[in-house]
Structure 1
Amino acid sequence: MGANISGAVVDGDEGGPPWRPKLGDIPESCAALVLAQLDPLEICKLAQLNRSFRSASSADFIWESKLPSNYRFIVEKVLGDTTLLNLPKKDLYARLCRPNHFDAGTKEIWLDKNTGGVCLSISSKALTITGIDDRRYWSHISTEESRYPTVAYLQQIWWFEVDGELEFQFPAGTYCLFFRLQLGKSLKRLGRRVCKPEHIHGWDIKPARFQLSTSDGQHAVFQCYLDNPGNWVLYHVGDFVVENPNALTKIKFSMTQIDCTHTKGGLCVDAALIYPSTVRKEVRSCS
């Protein structure tokens, strides 16, 4: 028995100390194969172990496998900056994980750091809002609580309708679409956040109706009453599935409350957001 245990130690020169294999003795090529099986955050953690893992963690083939299948479409067609393709794939991944504005700053795209999933945001200025140019009903107010400089604020209206559409090449998978809304106008007073509720009315009489449709025939409908004044809420419009990652998918979505028996108001419309279903568990929503 003792001979078997001691046999696990490789002896050095006669009379010298025994030599034991260490984690740092793993060849860089082997370390890279291990890292390729991990998610991005795990790769970054293991890169801190030793020189072999740190060097292997920069291999292009590792990070290209973490990039979404449509990363060239994002770089060339959406961002219009082909110089990004010259970056090492690790640096390109990090660059795409940051917020990237497009369409004159009215939309934003980024990758989820954990999964590499594609996330999108469409600001209120990129949405079609009934009556938006009439200051009696709507205004754009400055805020520090959005990805964008302003949000659309509704004071009062009879016919409430917000529409949006997007044509995009999504990687295969399931995606969730949300509206980010808040009842009331928030501001800072004496350094503290407060919410002005005076215009909030009408949302408890009839539910708001959310709809989603895609160019390949998918549909979703959801209705709910708006509540929780003073807090930003993600209202889940619906899900859609992308099967062909090489095709453009056109999405149309809307939010309406068009019962003209009463007015409604006191609502901030920030943006519509699209997340992969793998990220949804991290997103707090009303659905």
Structure 2
Amino acid sequence: MGTGSSILGADGEWGETSLGDMPESCVAAVLLYLDPPEICQVARLNRAFRGAASADCVWAAKLPANYRYLAALAAAADDEGRGDGDANGKCFSLAATKKEIYARLCRPTPFDGGRKEFWIEKNKGGLCLCISSKAMTITGIDDRRYWSHLDTEDSRFHSVAYLQQIWWLEVDGELEFCFPAGSYSVFFHLHMGRPYRRMGRRLCGTEHVHGWDITPTRFQLSTSDEQQASSEYHLQEQGGWKLYHVGDFSISNSDEFIKLKFSMMQIDCTHTKGGLCVDSVFIYPKGYKHEKGNIICM
């Protein structure tokens, strides 16, 4: 059976119809069941699908419930960042179409002085956030005997904190944000050993790595509505960046600000520990399939 079918025309003669003859409203009703990348693909079929794939009613259903709050943050960031909004040189505006808003929110939006970012993931529209180590309180971070800052392309923020040696380690951070309703997972992005490049190759210096196999490192999170989670790991994984799962939390009200606190600590002072890179904390929708997949869970 082909894409066309026979129908009886007004003059009594048989004619042909095809997908291109479908009303855009009918096509839009079908597109509501597709994910954003699929909508963009079927938009190439014909004029009817192309028109329906740009309809506000289709993209409004794909946007987070509090997209106006997120779009306002994105517009403010574009204004602050020299107004380099979309590809045609125009600044992003809250008056944009829903499709344009979705496309803009898929790009990272910095806030808090560039130390934090948020974006929505392209496939499902879930909210993701990343908090730099520069936005956290780290024991002894200002003392070069213990810590140093490394410039690296492996970080979204192009810089990580590298621990050479310390007795007491504690890393604390917090975030106040208006999350769309749903469940979220919190991860610390860590690396054992000092990453560096030589002649284009990624290498890892392990001369400072010690002390992590004696006592587990404890990770914790808490929210302003009294949700709590914790986990413990021996940090023995080497040779690459790992996402250490701290725990999960849930949001029921998309219009309510919530304060999230998170930490990692290893405070057994019977021995020193070192050789750890602290990059950032990631917050993903629960169940989100991570690109790199190097996830450590209990």
Q: Distance in 1 between matches of 2:194 and 2:151?
A: 11
Superposed CA deviations along residues 196-220 of structure 1, whole A, max 9, x for unmatched, are: 1100000111110000111111111
Q: 1:274 aligns with which of 283, 289, 295?
A: 283
Contact 2:36/2:122 (8 A) holds in 1:
yes
Which of these residues, 107, 128, 136, is aligned with residue 127 of structure 1? 136
Which residue, 165, 178, 186 being the options, matches 2:195? 186
2:54–2:99 Cα contact (<8 Å) kept: yes
Aligned to 2:44: 48
1:145 and 2:134 matched = no
Aligned residue identity for 1:27: P
Aligned match of 1:118 = 127
Correspondent of 1:33 among 24, 29, 32: 29
1:73 aligns with 2:83: no
Moved more, 58-67 or 72-81: 72-81
Cα offset for 1:249?
1.0
Per the alignment, residue 158 of structure 1 pairs with 167
Q: CA deviation at 1:77?
A: 4.7
User: Which runs of structure 1 show a deviation greater than 3 angstroms over 4 or more consecutive aligned residues?
Assistant: 11-16, 280-284
Question: 1:61 deviation in Å?
Answer: 1.7
Q: What is the aligned partner in structure 2 of residue 174 from structure 1? A: 183
Q: How large is the Cα RMSD of the aligned pairs?
A: 1.9
- Relative to structure 1, the CA distance from residue 50 to residue 133 in structure 2 (aligned partners, 3 Å threshold; closer, same or farther) is same
Pairing 1:203–2:200 present: no
Aligned residues: 279
How far, CA to CA, are the matches of 1:24 and 1:255 in structure 2?
57
Deviation at 1:41, TM superposition (A): 1.4
Contact map agreement 2:111 2:117 (CA 8 A) in 1:
yes
Give the counterpart letter for 2:6 in structure 1. Answer: V
Deviation at 1:10, TM superposition (A): 2.6
* Structure 1 residue 221: Cα displacement: 1.1
Query: Could you list the runs of 5+ residues in structure 2 that have no partner in the other structure?
Result: 80-91
Q: CA shift at 1:78, angstroms? A: 6.8
TM-score normalised over the length of structure 1: 0.92
Residues 52 and 13 of structure 1, relative CA distance in 2, 3 Å threshold: closer
User: Which residue number corresponds to residue 86 of structure 2?
Assistant: none
Counterparts of 2:164 and 2:203, CA distance in 1: 18
Displacement, 1:11?
A: 4.7
Query: Against the structure 1 CA distance between its residues 30 and 78, is the aligned structure 2 distance closer, same or farther, given a 3 Å change threshold?
Result: closer
Structure 2 CA distance, aligned partners of 1:14 and 1:130? 84
Q: In 2, are the aligned partners of 1:185 and 1:230 still within 8 Å (CA)?
A: no
Q: Once the two structures are superposed, what CA deviation does each residue of 1:17-41 show, in whole Å capped at 9, x if it has no partner?
A: x423211111112111211232211
Equivalent residue, structure 1, for 2:145: 136
CA positional deviation for 1:72 = 1.5
Of the three residues 226, 233, 252, the one matched with 1:243 is 252
**Gap regions ≥5 residues in structure 1:** 1-7
Distance in 2, Cα, partners of 1:78 & 1:158: 41
Contact 1:211–1:222 under 8 Å retained in 2: yes
Q: 1:234 to 1:96 in 2, by over 3 A?
A: same
Deviation at 1:79, TM superposition (A): 5.7
**Percent of counterpart pairs with the same letter?**
58
Provide the C-alpha distance between the structure 1 equivalents of 2:152 and 2:294, rounded to a whole number of angstroms: 21
Kindly name which structure, 1 or 2, has the bigger radius of gyration based on alpha carbons. Answer: 1
Of 277-286 and 135-144, more deviation after overlay is shown by 277-286
Specify the alignment match of 2:7 in structure 1. Answer: 10
- Taking structure 1 as reference, are residues 99 and 14 closer, same or farther at Cα in structure 2, changes over 3 Å only? closer
Q: What whole-Å deviation, never above 9, does each CA across 1:141-178 have from its counterpart, x for those lacking one?
A: 10011101200000000000000111111111110000
Structure 1: how far apart are the matches of 2:10 and 2:22? 22
Whether 1:109 aligns to 2:118 is yes
Moved more, 106-115 or 33-42: 33-42
| Partner SS, residue 279 of structure 1 | coil
Q: Which residue number in structure 2 is paired with residue 5 of structure 1?
A: none
For residues 178 and 104 of structure 1, what CA distance do their matches in structure 2 show? 22
Partner residue of 2:240 out of 222, 231, 234:
231
The answer for the alignment partner of 1:286 in structure 2 is 296
Deviation at 1:239, TM superposition (A): 0.2
Give the Cα–Cα distance (whole angstroms) in 1 for the partners of residues 290 and 204 of structure 2. Answer: 28
Of 67-76 and 194-203, the range deviating more from structure 2:
67-76
Is 2:115–2:131's contact at 8 Å kept on the other side of the alignment? yes
Residue aligned with 2:15, SS: coil
- 1:99 match: 108
